[in-house]
């Protein structure tokens, strides 16, 4: 009976040791994965827009800009009204990355404001299929 109890204790000790090793190794792997990810995954550097503030809360705009732009698109088609704070013209006027003092970067270049994040998350931008990616000068007269 004592021999059997000794072997049960030995097996229990081995199982506890294995369990602790697995838990410890898991913690080490998680920590090294986190360190590796933070050191090797590049993130886009988003230039600050011109002006004191965005037309809405920055976190809101980052998360819901496409919803707001789509709603504005639909309202523009329905009413013809384009002069609202959520028009793409307003976005571009504040957020255009400038190639020179007078010329913004075109949407076909990776430095374009919208492309910085969209390329990062592999989302295609189709806004500029219809809209000019550079703000046009106002019409004369």
Q: Which residues pair with 98 in a beta bridge?
A: 104
Rounded-to-integer distance, Cα 110 and Cα 118, Å: 10
Evaluate whether 89 touches 107 at the Cβ level (below 8 Å). Answer: no
pLDDT tens readout for residues 76-120 = 889 888 778 888 888 888 888 888 888 888 888 888 888 888 998
pTM value surpassing 0.85: no
Rounded-to-integer distance, Cα 106 and Cα 111, Å: 8
Evaluate whether 72 touches 55 at the Cβ level (below 8 Å). Answer: no
3-state secondary structure of 50: coil
128: DSSP letter: G
Evaluate whether 88 touches 127 at the Cβ level (below 8 Å). Answer: yes
Evaluate whether 55 touches 85 at the Cβ level (below 8 Å). Answer: yes
pLDDT tens readout for residues 11-42 = 666 665 655 556 554 554 455 455 555 567 88
Q: Which residues pair with 104 in a beta bridge?
A: 98
């Amino acid at each position: 009976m004592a021999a059997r109890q000794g072997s049960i204790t030995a097996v229990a000790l081995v199982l506890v040791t294995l369990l602790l090793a697995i838990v410890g190794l898991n913690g080490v792997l998680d920590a090294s994965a986190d360190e590796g990810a933070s050191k090797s995954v590049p993130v886009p550097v988003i230039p600050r827009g011109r002006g004191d503030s965005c037309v809405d809360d920055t976190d809101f705009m980052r998360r819901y800009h496409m919803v707001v732009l789509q709603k504005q698109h639909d309202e523009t088609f329905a009413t013809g009204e384009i002069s609202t704070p959520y028009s793409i013209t307003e976005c571009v006027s504040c957020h255009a990355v400038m190639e020179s003092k007078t010329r913004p970067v075109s949407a076909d270049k990776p430095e374009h404001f919208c492309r910085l994040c969209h390329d990062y998350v592999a989302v295609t931008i189709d806004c500029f299929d219809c809209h000019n990616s550079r703000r046009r000068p106002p019409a004369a007269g």
